[in-house]
């Protein structure tokens, strides 16, 4: 399941910057590794294995300062990330992600991770997510609920509401499908954004194929200009100049309008420019783009940097 999940990232335009796992595979006290990703998890202690883990994409990790934060337990952890340029705007230099795997607890505390840990009052934009193992009408409006399900989930949603957290899930879209024929699907994997983060949320989706788990992979997107990939740029070093020259000579440029107006002249110019640019695009491949790409970089800058 682990390799299936990370292998499916090839279907995305860009690999996820942060991957949050609940109940990850652990062998002899160690979590698996994957190329280009660095793993962060709570330390194993007292024979208890980590129940959550983060995998952070290497190129993204090199652009931020990251501080893993633990709570003296294996079922919840946080990442505090910082960058001087700001994540979502120049003033938001910090960002927190909390990952929880809340299981059945004792009678006086029906879930293992309490609401105040999952939903902190924080001065930083905060994303909290995980397999919370709770059912609530806000996330699953068509479900018929039992009284104990409502009693268990209400303190969590009340805490989230009091602090202004927004549920990011698409209501009613199941995130877990039981392996048993008699089990009901449910919405157990929940994601919330605090008021400082919610304005930058753009998408909750499940575009990746099943990994063999009873839970589906969920993709969250946020509008972060600093980490947005720049638009594709031409790779002039690979241009087929011979073919391009022939194509340009064969391209017909229409004459300008005899009595031009601002609108007609603009239309004439845009049409003919489009004809020329289509030939450049046809014979010039684009560069491979990542969020670390710098479209303004040149060979001269590389020489100056070495000097």
Name the pairing type of β-strands 65-70 and 76-82.
Answer: antiparallel
**Residue 193 parent element (H or E):** strand 189-193
Helix, strand or coil for residue 111? strand
Residue 100 contacts residue 117 (beta carbons within 8 Å): yes
Helix (H) or strand (E) holding 141: none
User: What is the mean pLDDT for each group of 10 consecutive residues in the chain (307 residues)?
Assistant: 85 91 87 93 82 94 93 94 87 94 80 94 96 95 92 96 97 89 87 96 92 90 72 85 92 90 93 92 81 59 70
Same domain flag for 158 and 259: no
Q: Are residues 212 and 188 in the same domain?
A: yes
- 261 with 124, same domain: the answer is no
Nearest CA-CA partner of 134 in 165, 182, 163, 100 = 100
In the listed set 179, 202, 227, which residue is the last one of a domain according to the structure?
A: 227
Q: Is residue 253 located within the same domain as residue 222?
A: no
The per-residue pLDDT for 304 is 72
Strand partners, 55: 19, 39
pLDDT for the residue numbered 66: 96
Domain that holds residue 263: 236-306
Q: How many domains does the chain have?
A: 2
The predicted pLDDT at position 98 comes to 98
How far is the C-alpha of 265 from the C-alpha of 268, rounded, in Å? Answer: 5
Question: Can you give the pLDDT at residue 232?
Answer: 74
Of 187, 205, 227, which closes a domain? Answer: 227
CATH of the domain at 17: 3.60.10.10
Query: Phi first, then psi: what are they for 89, rounded to 5°?
Result: -160, 170
Identify whether residues 137 and 215 lie together within a single domain: yes
Q: How many CA atoms within 13 Å lie on the side-chain side of 229?
A: 14
**215 and 240, same structural domain?**
no
Assess contact for 54 and 74: CB atoms under 8 A. no
Same-domain check for residues 270 and 292? yes
pLDDT at 303: 73
If asked whether residues 207 and 289 sit together in one domain, one would say: no
Give backbone dihedrals phi and psi of 88, rounded to 5 degrees, phi first.
-110, -25
pLDDT at 226: 60
What integer pLDDT is reported at residue 195 of this predicted model? 96
The answer to whether 62 and 89 are in contact (CB under 8 A) is no
One domain for residues 175 and 297: no
Helix (H, G, I), strand (E, B) or coil at 126: strand
What whole-number distance in Å separates Cα of residue 119 and Cα of residue 175? 21
On the 0-12 / 13-18 / 19+ scale of CB atoms within 10 A, 151 is exposed
What whole-number distance in Å separates Cα of residue 291 and Cα of residue 64? 13
Task: Write down the pLDDT at residue 188.
Answer: 93
**Same domain, yes or no: 160 and 290:** no
Query: DSSP for 284-303?
Result: -PBPP--TT--TT--HHHHH
From 227, 258, 286, the end of a domain falls on 227
Alpha carbon distance 197, 168 (integer Å): 11
Residue with tokens 């934009």: 125
CB neighbourhood size of 240 (10 A):
13
Do both 185 and 280 map to the same domain? no
Decide if 18 contacts 57 (C-beta within 8 A). Answer: yes
Give yes or no: residues 252 and 218 share one domain: no
- The label of the residue with tokens 């590389």 reads 302
Amino acid 86: pLDDT: 85
Strands 166-167 and 189-193, by their bridges, are: antiparallel
């Amino acid at each position: 399941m682990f390799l299936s999940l990370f292998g499916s990232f090839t279907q995305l335009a860009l690999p996820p910057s942060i991957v949050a796992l609940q109940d990850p595979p652990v062998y002899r006290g160690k979590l698996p590794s994957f190329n280009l990703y660095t793993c962060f998890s709570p330390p194993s202690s007292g024979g208890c294995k980590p129940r959550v883990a983060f995998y952070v994409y290497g190129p993204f990790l090199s652009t931020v300062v990251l501080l893993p934060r633990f709570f003296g337990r294996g079922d919840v952890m946080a990442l505090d990330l910082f960058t001087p340029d700001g994540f979502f705007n120049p003033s938001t230099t910090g960002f927190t992600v909390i990952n929880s795997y809340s299981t059945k607890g004792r009678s006086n505390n029906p879930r293992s991770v309490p609401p105040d840990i999952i939903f902190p009052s924080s001065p930083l934009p905060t994303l909290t997510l995980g397999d919370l193992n709770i059912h609530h009408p806000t996330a699953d409006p068509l479900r018929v609920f039992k009284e104990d399900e409502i009693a268990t989930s209400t303190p969590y949603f009340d805490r989230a509401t009091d602090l202004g957290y927004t549920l990011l899930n698409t209501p009613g879209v199941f995130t877990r499908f039981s392996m048993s024929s008699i089990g009901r699907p449910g919405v157990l994997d929940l994601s919330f954004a605090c008021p400082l983060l919610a304005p930058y949320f753009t998408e909750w989706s499940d575009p990746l194929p099943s990994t063999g788990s009873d839970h589906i992979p969920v993709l969250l997107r946020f509008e972060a200009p600093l980490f947005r990939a720049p638009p594709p740029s031409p790779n002039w070093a690979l241009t087929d100049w011979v073919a391009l020259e022939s194509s340009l000579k064969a391209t017909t440029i229409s004459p300008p309008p005899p009595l031009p107006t601002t609108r007609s002249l603009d239309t004439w110019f845009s049409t003919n420019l489009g004809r020329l640019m289509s030939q450049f695009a046809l014979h010039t491949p684009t560069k491979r783009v990542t969020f670390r790409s710098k479209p303004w970089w040149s060979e001269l800058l590389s020489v100056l940097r070495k000097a």
